[in-house]
Amino acid sequence: MSTSYDIRPLQLRLLAILEAFDRMCRRHGLRYYLEFGTLLGAMRHGGFIPWDDDLDIMMPRPDYEKLIRHSREWLPEPFEFVCFENDPAYPLQFGKVQDASTTLVERPHLYYLGGVYIDVFPVDGLPDSPKEQQKLYGRYHRLKSLLYIVWRDPYKHGHGPSSWWPLLMRRIFRPAKVQKMIRDLSLTYPFEKSKYVACLFGQKLRPLDRVAQLGDGTPITFEGKEFMTVVNPDEHLTQIYGDYMTPPPPQEIQQHGFFYLDLDHPYRDFDPSLLPKSNLPKSK
């Protein structure tokens, strides 16, 4: 089961989430930055990459923590912030701002029922030494892989030997324990006291000078509206993608291919019996 959809209505719903998020951040003095494909789209297309079906932002850890504490009072309905700190059924190590008037199941083997969303990646402090930075990054990604193993359906690839390792890991580690290990590691170096910071979730470690490269951000236009991003977006995107102004060939273009998507009905009204039974572990 995979949902086909007209991408533009989805993009407009994502844009509405981003606009509400931006208003909240401005009202309460929170910093954030358009990142990854969203920033690339702003620079190359003036908005969404035509085939892109998500939005990415990053947020300094202190601001991210304020969002966790105050999102229920600061975000207007139908928007809500979800993360493992406020939802034990949440399977990822970063949060999302979602539209509760919609329904989305992204991947059945990593089941989470919510709405369409924008990703919010915390930016954490790093040690000064490049060698120690790589050690921290390596530990983070080992824990990230472990979190995926203990959350995903162990029978994704069948009931044979491929299921033995995830079943064993689920006996040893509870998701909440792995989430806490990731959080504790991420907080090792306080953001405001670190010269270098990074979004640890990325596929490569890309340290940023906290003051010179990140700072309080700079305005950028996305879909005709003003949002915030890093101080030098061209330099930042070149570091990530190289020649980012040249679109990829058609065979390299990818979309999520969401398992279930409904822009017209709230996820709380969804009947889970319509989906295959989940083999998720119970969180403690």
Q: What is the DSSP string of 174-211?
A: -HHHHHHHHHHHHTSS-GGG-SEEE-TTSSS---EEII
Q: What pLDDT, in 10s, does the model give residues 17-41?
A: 999 999 999 999 999 999 999 999 9
Q: Please determine, for residue 281, whether its predicted confidence score (pLDDT) is greater than 60.
A: no
pLDDT at 275: 67
Using DSSP bridges, classify how beta strands 117-125 and 56-60 pair: parallel, antiparallel or unpaired: parallel
Provide, rounded to the nearest whole percent, the portion of the chain with pLDDT above 90.
Answer: 78
Q: Please determine, for residue 157, whether its predicted confidence score (pLDDT) is greater than 90.
A: no
Q: Are 184 and 143 in contact (CB under 8 A)?
A: no
User: DSSP character for 247?
Assistant: P
Radius of gyration of the chain (CA): 19
Q: What pLDDT, in 10s, does the model give residues 100-150?
A: 999 999 988 888 999 999 999 999 999 999 999 999 999 999 999 999 999
**Angle, helices 7-28/61-74, rounded to nearest 10 degrees:** 100
Label residue 159 by pLDDT band (50, 70, 90). confident
Q: Are 66 and 28 in contact (CB under 8 A)?
A: yes
pLDDT at 4: 60
d(CA 101, CA 267): 7
Provide, rounded to the nearest whole percent, the portion of the chain with pLDDT above 70.
Answer: 95
Q: Please determine, for residue 54, whether its predicted confidence score (pLDDT) is greater than 60.
A: yes
pLDDT at 283: 40
Supply the pTM of this predicted model: 0.91
Using DSSP bridges, classify how beta strands 208-209 and 218-222 pair: parallel, antiparallel or unpaired: unpaired
More confident residue, 195 or 166: 195
Q: Are 260 and 105 in contact (CB under 8 A)?
A: yes
Q: Which residue has the tokens 């034990």?
A: 88
